[in-house]
Amino acid sequence: MASGRGPQRIVLVGFMGSGKSTVGAALARHLGWGFRDLDRWIEQRHGLTVAEIFRRHGEAFFREEERRAARAAARLRRHVVAAGGGAFAEDATREILQAGSLTVWLRCGEGALWRRLPRDGSRPLAADRGRMRRLLGEREPSYRLADLAVDSSRAAPDEVARRIAEAASLEAAPARRTAKKR
Ligand code: S3P
């Protein structure tokens, strides 16, 4: 995590359907910060949806683009960043996302994730429940590397955002007190 003056970014990680984009937008509003969704950034760069990028270019290409999106986001200040569900499971991308940021895992039970995921082909890696469950098991150890975990299974996005903001200012408080004394 960031040291000194507190994090420049709050990066939300977690499985597909855990609420990263909705909570991220709510948190950015709450803090008066900017918001960057890595998937939307990639889609805009290519003029294609994530599902189309997977179909046309494959997952390895998408992961490279995701790493590029993480690098671009690492230059942002006072931003909430929503990472795609696989970003934190990639070592190089995770390291980029961690530098100077407070990382937050939106933890969500398997049942809630499955209920929330749209069945419209937009999440090619969670097309059926068995695949989703396996992927979740594989990825949980990487999500645990986040600085904080906040449960997003039941609470409304605004409430989850408020809890993260509270935790983030607790993290930043000692640095602010030190700065005031000088
Ligand atoms: C993916 C998650 C998606 C998107 C892509 C791959 C994954 O993002 O990046 O479909 O590997 O878990 P969301 O987590 O925002 O759905």
| Ordered per-residue pLDDT tens for the chain, 182 residues | 544 577 899 999 999 999 999 999 999 999 999 999 999 999 999 999 999 999 999 999 999 999 999 999 999 999 999 999 999 999 999 999 999 999 999 999 999 999 999 888 888 888 889 999 999 999 999 999 999 999 999 999 999 999 999 988 734 323 333 444 43
pLDDT (0 to 100) of residue 157: 95
| Cross-sheet strand order for the sheet of 148-151 | 34-37, 79-82, 9-13, 101-107, 148-151
pLDDT (0 to 100) of residue 43: 98
CA dist list (Å): 119 to 19, 116, 126: 16, 9, 9
pLDDT (0 to 100) of residue 174: 36
CB burial of residue 73 (10 Å; 0-12, 13-18, 19+): buried
pLDDT (0 to 100) of residue 180: 44
How many angstroms does the Cα of residue 97 sit away from the middle of ligand 1? 15
Query: Which residue among 37, 59, 105, 123 is best mutated to probe the pocket of ligand 1, counting the most ligand atoms within 8 A of its Cβ?
Result: 123
Residues 6+ apart with CB under 8 A from 125: 16, 59, 85, 86, 131, 132, 135
Determine the 3-state secondary structure of 67 from DSSP. Answer: helix
Determine the 3-state secondary structure of 94 from DSSP. Answer: helix
> Residue 57 and residue 70: Cα distance in Å, rounded?
19
Q: Is 20 in the pocket of ligand 1 (CB under 6 A)?
A: yes
List the alpha helices (DSSP H) in the chain: 20-31, 38-46, 50-57, 59-73, 91-98, 110-116, 129-143, 157-181
CB 8 within 8 A of CB 99: no
Please identify, by atom number, the ligand 1 atom nearest to the C-alpha of residue 89: 11
pLDDT (0 to 100) of residue 161: 95
Q: Is 80 in the pocket of ligand 1 (CB under 6 A)?
A: no
pLDDT (0 to 100) of residue 84: 97
Dihedral of CA 145/163/82/114: which sign? positive
Cα 71 to chain center, whole Å?
A: 14
DSSP-derived secondary structure letter, 43: H
